[in-house]
Amino acid sequence: MAQIDGSIWQGKSVLVVDDYQAVRKTIKELFATMGLAVSEAGNGVEALEKLNAGKYDLIVSDLVMAEMDGFELTETVKNNPGLRSIPIVILSTHADYKYIFRALRLGADDYLIKPPTAEMVNIVLARVFNHEW
């Protein structure tokens, strides 16, 4: 498999949405080592507030969260003309195809199982940013 230089993501901004602060911290640290600027939200409602207030190149969201889960967030973002172009990657412990298919049908661009490896994140980033490698 081709090696991807993580520095190619330098300057891209990502919004990490997860209800567990420890998970957000871990993902934030992983993405930061790859050159991504990371913001955090604890649920879909908070994520929408941040999305409406700033510009992001990517959303990485958990599925199961209070107030607004990842399914609702994905559907809301993909139905909003001002936000729909932002790629959404679901990052979840749910590996069942029913979760994966539902997320993809609602508009998610990709799906990762927790915990993600740097190699898997690079592959997904290459796909969502249409990077040739």
Can you read off the two tokens belonging to residue 84? 């729909």
- What is the per-residue pLDDT for 7? 63
Domains of the chain: 7-128 (3.40.50.2300)
- Answer whether 8's CB lies under 8 Å from 32's CB: no
H helices present in the chain, as ranges: 21-33, 44-53, 70-78, 97-105, 118-128
Which residue is it, tokens 């999305």?
51
Return d(Cα 90, Cα 103) in angstroms, integer. Answer: 7
Show Cβ contacts of residue 3 under 8 Å, excluding neighbours closer than 6 positions: none
- Answer whether 77's CB lies under 8 Å from 46's CB: no
pLDDT, one tens digit for every residue, the chain (133 residues)? 444 555 678 889 999 999 999 999 999 999 988 889 999 999 999 999 999 999 999 999 999 999 999 999 999 999 999 999 999 999 999 999 999 999 999 999 999 999 998 899 989 999 998 865 4
Show Cβ contacts of residue 79 under 8 Å, excluding neighbours closer than 6 positions: none
- Answer whether 83's CB lies under 8 Å from 58's CB: no
Q: What are phi and psi of 16, to 5 degrees?
A: -95, 125
Three-state DSSP class for 6? helix
